[in-house]
């Protein structure tokens, strides 16, 4: 099956920053990502990365709201 990503980025310019953020979070949770294709990691590890990214983004949004 071909990779068809129909999701549009709200801020396309943020793509590089989000990619760096993904690698930073992966390192924090102990998942080793390599440059390029990472489709061979487990769903559990991918979930750890995604979950931690969401937690950090929510915390940042909440912090910004209180300022």
What total number of domains does the chain contain?
A: 1
DSSP run (H or E) holding 45: helix 43-65
* pLDDT tens-digit readout, 42-56: 999 999 999 999 999
- Domain that residue 24 falls in: 12-33+41-65
Q: What is the DSSP letter of 31?
A: -
Q: Which residues of the chain have pLDDT under 50?
A: none
Give residues with Cβ within 8 angstroms of 23, minimum separation 6: 33
pLDDT value of residue 30: 96
Is 54 a member of any domain? Answer: yes
Is 6 a member of any domain? Answer: no
Is 7 a member of any domain? Answer: no
pTM of the model: 0.79
Is 3 a member of any domain? Answer: no
């Amino acid at each position: 099956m071909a990779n068809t990503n129909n999701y549009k980025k709200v801020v396309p310019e943020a793509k590089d920053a989000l990619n760096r953020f993904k690698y930073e979070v992966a390192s924090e949770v102990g998942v080793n990502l390599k440059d390029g294709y990472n489709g061979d990691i487990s769903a559990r590890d991918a979930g750890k990365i995604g979950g931690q990214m969401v937690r950090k983004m929510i915390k940042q949004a909440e912090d910004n709201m209180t300022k």
